[in-house]
Chain A
Amino acid sequence: SQTIHQWPATLVQPVGSPLSLECTVEGTSNPNLYWYRQAAGRGLQLLFYSVGIGQISSEVPQNLSASRPQDRQFILSSKKLLLSDSGFYLCAWRRSSGELFFGEGSRLTVL
Chain B
Amino acid sequence: AQTVTQSQPEMSVQEAETVTLSCTYDTSESDYYLFWYKQPPSRQMILVIRQEAYKQQNATENRFSVNFQKAAKSFSLKISDSQLGDAAMYFCAYRSAYSGAGSYQLTFGKGTKLSVIP
Stretch in A12-20, A76-84, A102-110 with 4+ CB within 8 Å of B: A102-110
Contacts between the two chains (Cβ within 8 Å), count: 58
Identify A44's interface contact among B50, B101, B106, CB under 8 A: B106
Identify B103's interface contact among A49, A92, A100, A101, CB under 8 A: A49
> Taking A46-B104, A104-B42, A105-B44 as contacts, is the C-beta distance between A99 and B110 under 8 angstroms?
no
> B93: which A residues are within 8 A, CB to CB?
43-44
Q: Per DSSP, are chain B's interface residues mostly helix, strand or loop, or mixed?
A: loop
Q: Is the C-beta of B117 less than 8 angstroms from some C-beta in chain A?
A: no
User: Once bound together, how far apart are the Cα atoms of A102 and B108, in whole Å?
Assistant: 14
In which size bucket is the chain B interface? 20 to 34
In which size bucket is the chain A interface? 20 to 34
User: Once bound together, how far apart are the Cα atoms of A100 and B91, in whole Å?
Assistant: 13
Q: Is the CB of A43 within 8 A of B91?
A: yes
Q: Mark A31-63, 1 if CB is under 8 A from B, else 0.
A: 010100000011110100111000101010000
> A103: which B residues are within 8 A, CB to CB?
44
In the assembled complex, the CB of B47 is this many whole angstroms from the nearest CB of chain A, namely 5
Q: Which residues of B contact A (CB under 8 A)?
A: 4, 33, 35, 42-47, 50, 91, 93, 95, 101-111
